[in-house]
Amino acid sequence: MAKTIPISLDAMGGDSGAEVVIPGAEIALVRHPEIRFLLYGNENVLLPLLEQYPRVKEASVLHHCDVSIAMDTKPSQALRQGRWRSSMWRSIEAVKSGDASVAVSAGNTGALMAMSKFCLRTMANIERPAIAAIWPTTRGESVVLDVGATIGADAQQLIDFAILGGAMARALFGVQRPSVGLLNIGVEEVKGLEEVRTAGRLLRETPLRSLEYAGFVEGSDLGKGTVDVVVTEGFAGNIALKTAEGTAKQIGSYLRSAMNRTFMSKIGYLFAKGAFDLLREKMDPRKVNGGVFLGLNGIVIKSHGGTDAEGYASAIDLAYDMVKNELTHKIAQDLVHYHRGRFAEAAPTAEGDS
């Protein structure tokens, strides 16, 4: 019998809260029967829903919480008012205690990151955590980080992100030495901010068994899948992510308008329906919903707040994959190896001491 994987859910998070969380849990449970849920939220809301989804009810333990974090609550306010009692905090705390292997929330991103960092703390030698997103490409998928946790980053933090992203790519894609690129305004070594150039030089000079540094990549490389992992700081990463989401919606709108323009275009759509269905499937943001908080002593998945049940199920799928493939263990191994190498290089030799 397969080992059960306990996943804690902030059932009140997101634009629609439990109305999306519980149906999403049902979809994920069909795909992964070994999942068990720890549901955190208002029992007056959740119990009637669980009666409609007996499979989820059977696989869940409900923990009543009388506080939920609003989507517009400031992170500092969420920490003051929501700690100990909110569904968001308690879902994260379940990871800290070991009751859950991973937490999933569609709630307020800033509050979720603040609570996750406060509750779980960052891993040794990691100054700031990052949010990693799965990016669909013409070659498959890539990992892109940071997409919003850290505004601005120095060279060492970018190197840390490269290690974190490399470990996630190993866990998700099964690649032993994923290729990593630094997002820049050009591929030439003289271009870009000093922090990016310094990080690039250090990555070239440092032997890393867990990843292969491929140099600088540009914005156009994101969709091409030029590398397995793209590293940037959170300001640029978040703009890139929102731009890609907006462009996908724009293209979809153009296609619908074109297909409905004339009678002949509607006939043409019928003949090409299979191709358009495939395109719609590849462009569906619900299929890659879920950002992974990396660099913490535990795994937290951030679902898009406005997603539907299918999208929320994808976030749970991602949580399942990260646990199944031992993401936290891989990150810890890679960090230990990297910092041992750094300290070994920094240590004076016997000849130098004499």
Q: Residue 259: left if φ>0, alpha if ψ -120 to 50, beta else—which one?
A: alpha
For residue 263, what are the CA distances in angstroms to 253, 254, 271, 274, 309? 18, 17, 13, 19, 35
Q: According to the model, what pLDDT value does residue 342 have?
A: 63
pLDDT for res 261: 77
The pairing of beta strand 212-217 with beta strand 229-231: unpaired
Decide if 243 contacts 214 (C-beta within 8 A).
no
* 122 contacts: CB under 8 Å, gap ≥ 6: 128, 129, 295, 296, 297
Domain ranges of the chain: 1-126+295-354, 132-288
CA–CA distances in Å: residue 326 to residues 270, 299, 321, 330, 332? 45, 10, 8, 6, 10
- Bridge partners for 229 per DSSP: 143, 180
The side-by-side arrangement of strands in the sheet containing 60-64 is 60-64, 35-41, 5-10, 102-105, 299-302, 291-294, 130-137, 140-145, 229-231, 179-183, 212-217
pLDDT in tens, the chain (354 residues): 568 999 999 999 999 999 999 999 999 999 999 999 999 999 999 999 999 999 999 999 999 999 999 999 999 988 888 778 899 999 999 999 999 999 999 999 999 999 999 999 999 889 889 999 999 888 888 999 999 888 889 999 999 999 999 999 998 888 889 999 999 998 888 888 999 999 999 999 888 888 999 999 999 999 899 999 999 999 998 898 888 878 777 877 777 777 777 777 777 666 666 665 565 666 566 677 889 999 999 999 999 998 999 999 999 999 999 999 999 988 988 888 887 766 555 555 544 443
What pTM value is reported for the model? 0.87
Instruction: Give the C-alpha separation, 203 to 182, whole Å.
Output: 10
CA distance 325 to 173: 10
Protein fold of 132-288: Isopropylmalate Dehydrogenase (3.40.718)
Residue-level pLDDT at 278: 62
Listed residue (114, 51, 121) closest to 79, CA to CA: 114
Unique residue bearing structure tokens 């996750």: 116
Local structure of 248: helix, strand or coil:
helix
Query: Is the CATH number of domain 1-126+295-354 3.40.50.10950?
Result: yes
The pLDDT, as a whole number, for residue 74 is 92
Angle CA 305–140–227, to nearest 5: 100
| Rounded Cα–Cα distance for residues 190 and 186 (Å) | 9
Residue 350 has what pLDDT? Answer: 46
